[in-house]
Amino acid sequence: MEFLLVLLIGLLYASGTYMMFRRSMVKLLLGLILIGNGANLLIFLVGDINKGNPPVIPRDFSSLQGVYSDPIPQALILTAIVISFGLQAFAIVLLKRVYLVTGTDDLDQLNSDDQDI
Amino acid sequence: MTDPFIILPVLLHLLTAILLIFCWKKVRAQKIISVAGNLVIVLLAFGLWMKVWNLGILTMQGGGWEAPFGITFAADTLSATLMLLTGIAGLAVAIYSCAGITKNRIQFGYFPIVHFLLMGLNGAFLAGDIFNLYVWFEVIIISSFVLMTLGGRKPQLEGAINYVTMNLLASVIFLTAIGILYGLTGSLNMADLSIKIADIENRELVHVTAILFFVGFGIKSAVFPLYFWLPSSYNTPPSAIAAIFGGLLTKVGIYALMRVFTLIYIPDSFLKGVFLFVAGATLVTGALGALGKTDIRRLLSYLIICHIGYMLAGLALYTEQAMTGALFYLFHDIVIKTNLFLIAGLIYKIAGTYKMSELGGIYRRYPKLSLVMAAVFFSLVGIPPLSGFWPKLYLISESLNSGSYILLASILIASFITMYVIAKLWAEVFWKEPMVVTDLKAAGFDALSNFKKQLLVIPVIALTALTLYMGFGAQHIAVLAERISTELFHHQPYIDAVFEPKN
């Protein structure tokens, strides 16, 4: 399971990076989303994946017993997902706006302001 | 010492922003609330600074959960000083915005977003928890995205694409580093990490996270070769917005670098070498970029990059003296870069253009105002005894002591080129005779009421006065910077303050 996740994370980072190098704005956006998901999965992975061991203190005990899943990474991912959701929503609206204003999807065409180089 | 009131500037910015949202269409009410809110926050930040100066590091544990389990906020002298400077810059920009930002932008939420941005900055300076720092960074960037695009003109949107992409990428890299660091240490509290990171056996992975942090913060603070988003975006929004960005946003990246690489990581010789190279390259490429620019704000954007190099140089040399210089430069730079963009806006108001070829004759028309601006330019260049000179003295003597001659050369080259471009700017904008007013609608400084003129000029004069104080009262700033530098390098008191048992 861990090994599969490692492969998946690597794939997400690699494909995200590749997509960001493309000139199309939509691909740029997809790249950002893929890399963001890769980072979330990475945090999930470092929290040690073990099935069926919730971090709940059993009755009659005062502390956690045995092996348990670390709850913090899941809280972190939850925060990161919410934040990236907001940012991606903004990025999508921005790209749509840019497309409407400039009439192009090509990042290389976005240089109307570069008169003096 | 535990003190829950350190969080008050953050909360007050939030409260002001919420109040402003309730006055969505009432432009005049928004202006008054924003300026009043900023004024109160500056006073609070000054009170906090006095308290930290007298009593030492203050901490607050979120929800009363003791470190390292709760979310820690810690105000040491560096945090308190930066919060005070942020407050001052915020107040200046708020006053300037009352006359410098059009009604349309204010009706679409300009002031609330500025307060959210300032809230994020204050929070980032206070954060004692690395994930909390990440969250504050996100608050900062989402607010800055909105400010950057507010108005929706074509160049703004095009600049925003670079800005948004690079900042989102920086956040992901930062988050990746946090994830790996948590996997290694099982902690997010920076003081706790500082203790735990020494015991990690997998040093290679520790180095990888250090580099990831450097890249993430490096993009945000616009160091070589990660700065290309800055000059393509900072020249597009109105000058009041560019002033906040130029004065504060890149500096929060530098703050994070200083914090992380003194508290959590102690750079080894390889990392120091990387810092040295990046600092030198940032200085030289930023300065060279400024050389050919004919648009005032583009020129200033490259100078921001160039001068980030000075602060990074202090971190790269990694001695207390060098850090003192870097911190002195940081304080000087926050005030002066904010002021420079406000001045650029003022010039635009007067002449209706940012192009140096079309500008001219401002000295003849406004001699007193020009003299104020000249004081700022001289300080930026660092003519002794003005404020740009002292930190460079520290940095140059330290790079001589440590034998980093290439860095020394970069510092000198960057200083000379800064002087040259500022002299060129002065000659073109203030002394040159022919002035063609191209855009009559924008060139409305004379047509403004007296009150509005004062709203534009007073922040510039106030920030100039602060800059002059930093130059002529350099001994005060030097004492402050030395104390902060000592705190950064001997961080045991910081750790003790965070882990102090509850009484």
Task: Show the CA angle centred on residue B143, arms to residues B138 and B145, nearest 5°.
Answer: 95
Give the whole-angstrom CA distance, residue B309 versus residue B316.
Answer: 10
**Does pLDDT of B440 surpass 60?**
no
Q: Are B250 and B308 in contact (CB under 8 A)?
A: yes
Give the whole-angstrom CA distance, residue B179 versus residue B176.
Answer: 5
Q: Name the H helices within B264-351.
A: 269-291, 296-317, 320-351
Q: Min CA distance, B475 vs chain A (Å)?
A: 41
User: Chain A contacts of B358, Cβ < 8 Å?
Assistant: none
Which of B158, B168, B232 is opposite residue A98, by nearest beta carbon? Answer: B158
Note whether A76 contacts B179, CB cutoff 8 Å. Answer: yes
CA-to-CA dists, residue B206 to A7, B196, B198, B213, B272, angstroms: 21, 11, 10, 11, 15
Q: Min CA distance, A39 vs chain B (Å)?
A: 5
Q: What is the pLDDT of residue A117?
A: 40
Q: Name the H helices within B56-76.
A: none
Q: Could you tell me which of A4, A37, A32 has the C-alpha nearest to residue A16?
A: A32
Q: Are B326 and B391 in contact (CB under 8 A)?
A: yes
Query: Which fold is adopted by the domain A2-53+67-105?
Result: Helix Hairpins (1.10.287)
Q: Min CA distance, B183 vs chain A (Å)?
A: 5
Mean pLDDT of B225-235: 87
Q: Could you tell me which of A35, A36, A49 has the C-alpha nearest to residue A5?
A: A49
**Does pLDDT of A23 surpass 50?**
yes
Give the whole-angstrom CA distance, residue B344 versus residue A105.
Answer: 33
More confident residue, B252 or A74: B252
Name the phi and psi angles at B81, rounded to 5: -65, -45
Residue B259: Cβ-neighbour burial (10 angstroms; 0-12, 13-18, 19+): buried
Fill in the DSSP letter of residue B490.
S
pLDDT above 70: percentage of residues in chain A: 94
Q: Are B299 and B293 in contact (CB under 8 A)?
A: yes
Give the whole-angstrom CA distance, residue B93 versus residue B107.
Answer: 17
Q: Min CA distance, B155 vs chain A (Å)?
A: 6
- For the segment B81-97, what is each residue's pLDDT rounded down to a tens digit? 999 999 999 999 999 99
Q: What is the pLDDT of residue B436?
A: 61
Three-class SS state of B295: strand
Tokens of B308: 């980030």
Model pTM score? 0.93
Q: What is the pLDDT of residue B104?
A: 86
User: Chain B contacts of A90, Cβ < 8 Å?
Assistant: 142, 145-146, 164
Best probe of the B interface among A22, A113, A114, A117, by most B CBs < 10 A, is: A113
Name the phi and psi angles at B238, rounded to 5: -60, 155
Give the whole-angstrom CA distance, residue A85 versus residue A40.
Answer: 12
- Averaged pLDDT score across all residues of chain B: 90
- Residue ranges per structural domain of chain A: 2-53+67-105
Q: Are B13 and B120 in contact (CB under 8 A)?
A: no
Note whether B182 contacts A87, CB cutoff 8 Å. Answer: no
Interface of A with B (CB under 8 A): 20, 25, 28, 32, 35-36, 39, 42-43, 45-47, 70, 72-73, 76, 79-80, 83, 86-87, 90-91, 94-95, 97-98, 101-102, 107, 110-114, 116-117
Classify the phi-psi angles of A38: left when phi > 0, otherwise alpha if psi is within -120 to 50, otherwise beta.
alpha
Give the whole-angstrom CA distance, residue B5 versus residue B198.
Answer: 33
How confident is residue B225, by pLDDT bands cut at 50, 70 and 90?
Answer: confident
Tokens of B137: 């960074």
Tokens of B59: 């901490």
Give the whole-angstrom CA distance, residue B174 versus residue B259.
Answer: 14
- For the segment A60-97, what is each residue's pLDDT rounded down to a tens digit? 888 877 777 788 888 899 999 999 999 999 999 999 99
**Does pLDDT of A12 surpass 80?**
yes
How confident is residue B208, by pLDDT bands cut at 50, 70 and 90?
Answer: very high
Q: Return the residue of B nearest to A88 by Cα.
A: B168
More confident residue, B393 or B503: B393
Note whether B176 contacts A94, CB cutoff 8 Å. Answer: no
Give the whole-angstrom CA distance, residue B164 versus residue B148.
Answer: 9
Note whether B172 contacts A83, CB cutoff 8 Å. Answer: no
Q: What is the pLDDT of residue A116?
A: 44
Q: What is the pLDDT of residue A109?
A: 75
How confident is residue A2, by pLDDT bands cut at 50, 70 and 90?
Answer: confident
User: Chain B contacts of A42, Cβ < 8 Å?
Assistant: 176, 179-180
Q: Are B294 and A114 in contact (CB under 8 A)?
A: no
Q: Are A57 and A94 in contact (CB under 8 A)?
A: no
Q: Are B185 and B200 in contact (CB under 8 A)?
A: yes
Note whether B141 contacts A87, CB cutoff 8 Å. Answer: yes
